[in-house]
């Protein structure tokens, strides 16, 4: 890319889209492979560690603020963050920053895959897995750095009891360790839990870890610690669990497919999203009663069932639709707005109780000019669209698998992309291919992005796509239509000239 182009793109993005993290490079997170017997070098110690666990939503959000110190005589640039084998597949949205200097941006984070070791019976050993955090600058001997590490866990909350009545109160349990898992010695640590209500019938006490009562309760907050753990070996666990009231749906999507189609000739941005939704709340212990549900809905009482979905859309969104496997769903309401976010309210065909599933699709159109800019000096375009839209619910939504397709005009080339803003950004796999539609010649350029383990916090991120669209490529579609129509007239004229009579000449 030419220097002038890079400068123009960056300045335009900064002024038009207010972003500071744009880099138009590969994703932030890559993967490396470690030996099965690998042990991180003991080059750090955790001087003070505070873990904040948020349980307000249907998934777990954790933030670890830790002051680390280099105890090795050489400068170090890699910090290993361990996870148990059984939970590493549930981790998503990992993000690391300098707590005291957040304007430096996110640190590079790589998932370290461990090479498998088989037991005698052929099953793999369940070894600890790691994320590798790389510092922008090596940390000298005895220097300290405060890391802010945030991530979320999917499918980590369990209803207890597993079955409740239709109007019953739901309780969830969360199990964790009072000692934060680390490969480095930790001098002092504590864990703060933020709960949605004060109704907490059961929780583990940690007698012996502190001289006074533990945990400490204050409103909806529980605090385990602080613990003096200088003599506790790294990797030591102390299991605890907490059971709390959460009479809301626990929503999860096994798959979300999001298509964004760009039409230069039509000046339109068409968006369609397809959802495979389920409710992981407690299942019903009795048969579903429509009479009881109607009464419960009239009084708008708390329930673990999903009543409706609210989807905020960008200003100026038009032509919304809501369909499922049966066809059009009429129980929806759209509130348009040209100045602020519009609102699309969806009611499924049936209430979604624990263990129930529902697949549907929604779509709408926007004016392309609100999302697309063109550089004055080149045939280069900059598209800025939300990475993820869809429902915005108080109880939150977790997404196990997300596919985003940006379908660009036919002839678009040199496609670059980057995620901007937001928190809990995913690790993305990207692929550029061709998508053939009606009256195409070679096919439209398609950018496909695949992400795993997302939560609704990814809604705040923007997807910036930069691509080149040559001047002559814009005439590919009208020329194709012209040639097709002209061919039809020529074929009709040629057929009309054919003598189909069977008489003698």
CATH number of domain containing 428: 2.60.40.1730
Is residue 47 a contact partner of residue 14, using CB atoms and an 8 Å limit?
no
Mean pLDDT of 169-184: 94
Q: Is residue 496 part of a domain?
A: no
- Domain annotation covers residue 285: yes
Q: Mind listing the pLDDT tens digit for each residue in 335-371?
A: 888 778 889 999 999 999 999 999 999 999 999 999 9
Statement: residue 97 has pLDDT above 90: yes
The model's confidence at residue 28, banded by pLDDT at 50, 70 and 90, is: very low
| Residues shown for the chain | 505
Which one of 225, 245, 265 terminates a domain? 245
Q: The tokens of 107 are what?
A: 């640190």
Question: 13-27, 301-315, 441-455: which has the minimum mean pLDDT?
Answer: 13-27
**What pLDDT shows up at residue 23?**
47
User: How many C-alpha atoms does 185 have within 13 Å on its Cβ side?
Assistant: 13
Cα–Cα nearest to 17, from 382, 316, 339, 271: 382
First-to-final CA distance of the chain = 70
Claim to verify: residue 312 and residue 347 sit in the same structural domain: yes
Q: What is the per-residue pLDDT for 85?
A: 85
- Predicted pLDDT at 103: 80
Residues 256 and 241 in one domain: no
Residue 120: per-residue pLDDT: 57
Count of the separate structural domains present in the chain: 2
Residue 11 carries which DSSP code? H
Tokens of 186: 């930790």
One domain, residues 374 and 280? yes
Residue 127 pLDDT greater than 70, yes or no: yes
pLDDT digits (tens, 9 = 90+) for 209-231: 876 788 999 999 999 989 999 99
Q: How confident is the model at residue 319 (pLDDT cuts 50, 70, 90)?
A: very high
79 and 62 in one domain? yes
In a shared domain, residues 229 and 306 = no
In CATH, what number is assigned to the domain containing residue 87?
Answer: 2.60.40
The pLDDT tens digits for 390-423 are 899 999 999 999 999 999 998 888 999 998 877 7
Please report, rounded to a whole number, the percentage of residues in the chain having pLDDT higher than 70.
87
Q: Are residues 149 and 223 in the same domain?
A: yes
Q: Is residue 46 pLDDT above 80, yes or no?
A: yes
In Å, what is the CA distance from 292 to each residue of 295, 297, 298, 357? Answer: 5, 9, 10, 21
143 and 86 fall within a common domain: yes
Asked if residue 494 belongs to a domain, the reply is: no
Question: Does the structure show a pLDDT above 50 at 3?
Answer: no
Q: Which of 201, 222, 245 is at the close of a domain?
A: 245
pLDDT at residue 9 in the model: 42
Query: What pLDDT is attached to residue 499?
Result: 77
330: exposed, middle or buried (Cβ count in 10 Å: 0-12, 13-18, 19+): exposed
Residue 479 lies in a domain: no
Q: Is 268 exposed, middle or buried, given 0-12, 13-18 or 19+ CB atoms closer than 10 A?
A: middle
372 and 356 housed in the same domain: yes
Least confident window among 25-29, 100-104, 118-122, 301-305: 25-29
- The Cα-based distances of 258 to 296, 411, 505 in angstroms read 34, 22, 65
Distance CA 431, CA 179 (A): 41
Model confidence at 61: pLDDT above 90: yes
- The mean pLDDT value of the chain amounts to 86
How far from chain centre, in Å, is Cα 55? 18
Output the pLDDT for position 19: 38
pLDDT tens for 279-292 read: 999 999 999 999 88
Instruction: Assess whether 338 and 205 both reside in one domain.
Output: no
Q: Which of 200, 226, 245 is the last residue of a domain?
A: 245
In a domain, 489, yes or no: no
**pLDDT for residue 253 is more than 80:** yes
Residue 12 lies in a domain: no
* Domain contains 474: no
SS3 of 340-377: the string is CCEEEEECCCCCECCCCEEEEEEEEEEEHHHCEEECCC
Q: Note whether 239 and 295 are same-domain residues.
A: no
Q: Are residues 373 and 406 in the same domain?
A: yes
Q: Is the pLDDT reported for residue 20 higher than 60? A: no
pLDDT of 14 strictly over 90: no
Domain that holds residue 85: 35-156+171-245
Q: Say if residue 491 is exposed, middle or buried (CB neighbours under 10 Å; 0-12, 13-18, 19+).
A: exposed
The pLDDT of residue 10: 44
Q: In what order do the strands lie in the sheet with 342-346?
A: 309-313, 342-346, 332-335
Residue 184 domain-assigned?
Answer: yes
pTM: 0.84
E strands, 104-245, in order:
108-114, 129-139, 144-153, 158-159, 163-164, 171-177, 188-194, 202-203, 216-218, 221-228, 239-245
Residues 221 and 357 reside in one and the same domain: no
């Amino acid at each position: 890319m030419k220097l002038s182009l890079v400068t123009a793109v960056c300045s335009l993005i900064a002024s038009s889209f207010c972003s500071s993290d744009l880099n138009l490079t590969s994703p932030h997170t890559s993967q490396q492979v470690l030996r099965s017997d690998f042990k991180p070098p003991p080059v750090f110690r955790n001087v003070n560690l505070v873990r904040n666990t948020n349980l307000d939503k249907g998934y777990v959000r954790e933030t670890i603020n830790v002051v680390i110190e280099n105890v090795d005589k050489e400068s170090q640039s890699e910090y290993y963050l361990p996870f148990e084998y059984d939970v590493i597949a549930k981790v998503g949205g990992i993000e690391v920053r300098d707590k005291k200097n957040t304007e430096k941006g996110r640190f590079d984070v790589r998932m370290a895959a461990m090479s498998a070791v088989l037991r005698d019976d052929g099953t793999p050993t369940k070894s600890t897995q790691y994320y590798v955090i790389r510092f922008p600058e090596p940390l000298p001997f005895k220097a300290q750095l405060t890391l802010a590490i945030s991530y979320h866990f999917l499918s980590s909350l369990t209803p207890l009891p597993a079955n409740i009545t239709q109007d019953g109160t739901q309780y969830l349990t969360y199990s964790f360790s009072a000692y934060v898992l680390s490969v480095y010695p930790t001098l002092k640590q504590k864990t703060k839990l933020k709960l949605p209500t004060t109704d907490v019938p059961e929780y583990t006490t940690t007698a012996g870890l502190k001289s006074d009562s533990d945990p400490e309760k204050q409103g909806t907050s529980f605090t385990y610690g602080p613990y003096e753990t200088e003599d506790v070996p790294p990797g030591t666990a102390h299991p605890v669990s907490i059971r709390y009231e959460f009479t809301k749906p626990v929503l999860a999507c096994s798959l979300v497919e999001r298509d964004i189609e760009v039409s230069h000739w039509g000046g339109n941005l068409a968006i369609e999203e397809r959802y495979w939704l389920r409710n992981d709340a407690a299942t019903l212990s009795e048969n579903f009663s429509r009479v009881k549900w109607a009464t419960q809905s009239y009084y708008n009482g708390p329930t673990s069932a999903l009543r409706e979905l609210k989807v905020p859309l960008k200003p100026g969104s038009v032509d919304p639709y809501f369909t499922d496997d049966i066809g059009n769903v009429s129980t929806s309401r759209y509130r348009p707005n040209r100045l602020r976010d519009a609102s699309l309210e969806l009611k499924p065909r049936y209430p979604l109780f624990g263990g129930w599933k529902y697949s549907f699709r929604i779509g709408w159109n926007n004016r392309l000019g609100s999302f697309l800019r063109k550089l004055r000096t080149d045939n280069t375009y900059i598209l800025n669209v939300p990475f993820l839209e869809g429902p915005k619910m108080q109880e939150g939504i977790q997404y196990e698998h997300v596919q985003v397709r940006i379908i660009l005009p036919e002839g678009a080339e040199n496609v670059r992309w980057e995620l901007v803003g937001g928190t809990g950004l995913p690790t993305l796999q990207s692929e550029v291919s061709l998508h053939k539609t009606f009256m195409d010649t070679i096919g439209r350029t398609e950018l496909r992005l695949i992400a795993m383990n997302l939560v609704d916090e990814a809604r705040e991120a923007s997807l910036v796509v930069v691509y080149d669209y040559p001047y002559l490529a814009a005439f590919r579609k009208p020329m194709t239509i012209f040639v097709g129509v002209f061919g039809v007239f020529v074929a009709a004229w040629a057929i009309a000239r054919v003598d189909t009579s069977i008489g003698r000449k």
